[in-house]
Chain A
Amino acid sequence: AQKVTQAQTEISVVEKEDVTLDCVYETRDTTYYLFWYKQPPSGELVFLIRRNSFDEQNEISGRYSWNFQKSTSSFNFTITASQVVDSAVYFCALRDPSGNTPLVFGKGTRLSVIA
């Protein structure tokens, strides 16, 4: 069975601090997909990144970076120089490689960035 654990329920940081959101996953599949989504107060989940299990390169997009480590089954998300607009709930998700299966989500981490 697949499982995603986001151990941090809530995090609060002061603006301009760096913050890392943890994601640990479990799967028996040798290939899989990992995702991060952002849910701002408006409620709609916004897709941030997809990572294939065979691609362990870390990725950077502006102030966002993702660290994928297969050895520890982790896919952590770092926001550098956080801003108030980063305040949201962030979800990590996992999907198996077949074409017609749903994403399995963690319970989310609520990030509050204080000015």
Chain B
Amino acid sequence: DVKVTQSSRYLVKRTGEKVFLECVQDMDHENMFWYRQDPGLGLRLIYFSYDVKMKEKGDIPEGYSVSREKKERFSLILESASTNQTSMYLCASSLGGTGDGVEAFFGQGTRLTVV
């Protein structure tokens, strides 16, 4: 079974802190994604990566950066946390290419509260 693991289930951070959200997948997937989920807004893509050291901006990249130094790990960084970044963060991974197995698999989510 595909396993996507996010480092924390719940986090509370202070405004201005630098925050790292870690995500690891164990299925050798090429693609990894960070989404943010807010009530009434659904899932919005922050960043994605289709290969090591490669990254692409999603719909709402402002205030975030990412790092992918190894294929299995994709980190989301909040450079200076703000209260409007309080949200549920979801990491996902998928195979590259087409055909069977292109669906994304998700981690359990990290609920971040910035105070």
Give the B-binding residues of A (Cβ under 8 A). Answer: 9, 33, 35, 37, 42-47, 50, 91, 95, 97-100, 102-108
Contact = CB atoms under 8 A, between A and B. Distances in A.
Interface secondary structure of A, over-half rule: loop
B90 A45 contact: yes
B104 A47 contact: yes
Interface string B22-64: 0000000011010100001111010010110000001000000
Interface string B88-109: 1010101111100011111111
| Interface size class of chain B, counting residues whose CB lies under 8 Å from the partner chain | 20 to 34
A33, A97, A103: which has the most chain B beta carbons within 10 Å?
Answer: A103
Contact of B42 (A33, A50, A108): A108
Contact of B109 (A43, A99, A107): A43
10 contacts: A9-B40, A50-B103, A91-B42, A97-B98, A99-B50, A99-B102, A100-B51, A102-B48, A103-B33, A107-B40
Contacts of B102: 33, 50, 95, 99
Contact of A102 (B58, B95, B106, B108): B58
A35 B103 contact: yes
Nearest to A50: B103
A98 B108 CA distance: 27
Contacts of A45: 90, 92, 106
A43 B108 contact: yes
Given A44-B106, A50-B103, A95-B102, A100 B96 contact: yes
